[in-house]
Amino acid sequence: MPFGPFYIVDTTLREGEQFVHAYFTTDDKVRIAMALDRFGVEYIELTNPATSPKSLEDVRTILRLGLRSKVVVHIRCHRDDALRAIESGAQGISVFLGVSPYLQRFSHGLDVEAVIDRAAEVLSLIRAEAPHVELRFSTEDTFRSRWADIFRVYLAIDRLGVVHRLGVADTVGVATPWQVYTTVRTLRRMTRADIEFHGHDDTGCAVANALAALRAGATHIDTTVLGIGERVGITPLGGFIARLYTLDRDLIRRKYNLAVLPELDRMVAEILGLEVPFNNYVTGLGAFAHKAGVHTKAVLHHPAVYEVLDPADFGLSRSIAVAHRLTGWHAIKLRADELGLGLTDEEIRQVTAQVKALADERPITIEDVDEALHRWVQERAPMPVASGGRTDGG
């Protein structure tokens, strides 16, 4: 088994709300939460209910849906936020406060001892007021913090005995998989807590970092639909699922309802007023499109030659691009068969040569291919027929 038991904390409705283009109405949030629940994410994280009256109301609305996914709220390490989170009735509360030199100098201005005191106060308050709530504490910007500082904080919080898990956050998307592995592994050895990983994608490692965290013993991974979040966002749900699928396909198929992923990606893109990116994991335009003759030939024989994900598992199908100069006779034959034209292999080769010649002159479409095929059938010499037979066949 390449990784241990894990849970997805989808934070489209928190981190995702921090994406520059995001505005979620209550109805949007309900639709997204219901689809995430159908997909099977174990947690849905919502915006801090102290942000605005509407945010608090929306937490309650989502809780009333009675989803299987646990509903958690994400708050700053403040008494008032904590009280509002408890008041919301959320099943989990995720608190964050960092100790990086940047935050110490330019943001909250607290030194390590003051961070520990503040966290201890807020976390103990929550535990006292809401004994059953699932509690998490995360140090923001973990990877640009001094190793000694973050471990002082993590060990102090773990010793309090009030949190279920500790969060490791690559807030600015700068960590490498090796760093993530070492940090999570060390934390796992030194504390009793579960570990959550939250990774931004500024330098393209969010999916790899989530996998590194998992391999090091992380139990919870944060994702958002399409990866939306601050700046370029965080680990995308679809990319993370694709990553794990090739490592343990049966587990991923059992654990999640994969066919809901295309609907989720489309829904969130539509709510944002954007397209699903053309190169998106699993659901992008190109995800299961095969083009070059060498590829199409092999894929038509055995798709796994050029596919590591089976589109059918996601309720999708592959496509073979036929109309272009890289095309091959297998692709043209596929098209001729689709049109019900009985051409011999030699004829298909000749039509393929015509199609390629045309595609060298200008971009072509499937209509051009169809026309070349039909023209061939019309213009070829009539087949010799038995005497007394019809001669108008074509």
Tell me which residues touch ligand HCA (CB under 6 A).
15, 18, 74, 94, 96, 138, 140, 167, 169, 171, 198, 200, 230
Choose the one of ligand HCA, Cu ion, none that binds residue 138, judging by a C-beta under 5 to 8 angstroms depending on kind.
ligand HCA
Task: Give the residue with the Cβ less far from ligand HCA, 98 or 238.
Answer: 98
Question: Least CB distance from residue 10 to ligand HCA, whole Å?
Answer: 13
Which residues contribute to the site for Cu ion (CB under 5 A)? Answer: 15
DSSP letter at 224 equals B
Task: Give the residue with the Cβ less far from Cu ion, 230 or 370.
Answer: 230
Helix (H) or strand (E) holding 194, with range, is strand 194-199
Find the residue with minimal CB distance to Cu ion.
Answer: 15
Which residues, 6 or more positions from 111, have their beta carbon under 8 angstroms from its beta carbon?
104
Short-list 142, 163, 158, CA closest to 99: 142
Question: Least CB distance from residue 198 to ligand HCA, whole Å?
Answer: 4
Choose the one of Cu ion, ligand HCA, none that binds residue 59, judging by a C-beta under 5 to 8 angstroms depending on kind.
none
Task: Give the residue with the Cβ less far from Cu ion, 21 or 302.
Answer: 21
Task: Give the residue with the Cβ less far from ligand HCA, 146 or 380.
Answer: 146
Please, how many CA atoms are within 13 Å of residue 16, restricted to the half-sphere of its CB? 29
Task: Give the residue with the Cβ less far from ligand HCA, 195 or 260.
Answer: 195
Question: Least CB distance from residue 225 to ligand HCA, whole Å?
Answer: 16
Which residues, 6 or more positions from 384, have their beta carbon under 8 angstroms from its beta carbon?
none
Choose the one of ligand HCA, Cu ion, none that binds residue 149, judging by a C-beta under 5 to 8 angstroms depending on kind.
none
Short-list 132, 133, 118, 24, CA closest to 80: 118
- Count other C-beta atoms under 10 Å from residue 363's C-beta: 10
Question: Least CB distance from residue 50 to Cu ion, whole Å?
Answer: 18
At residue 219, the 3 state secondary structure works out as coil
Alpha-carbon gap, residue 242 to 215, rounded angstroms:
16
Choose the one of Cu ion, ligand HCA, none that binds residue 96, judging by a C-beta under 5 to 8 angstroms depending on kind.
ligand HCA
Alpha-carbon gap, residue 125 to 117, rounded angstroms:
12
Choose the one of Cu ion, ligand HCA, none that binds residue 265, judging by a C-beta under 5 to 8 angstroms depending on kind.
none
List residues with catalytic annotation: 295
Pairing of strands 289-290, 7-10: unpaired
Report how far Cα 35 is from the mean position of its chain's Cα atoms: 14
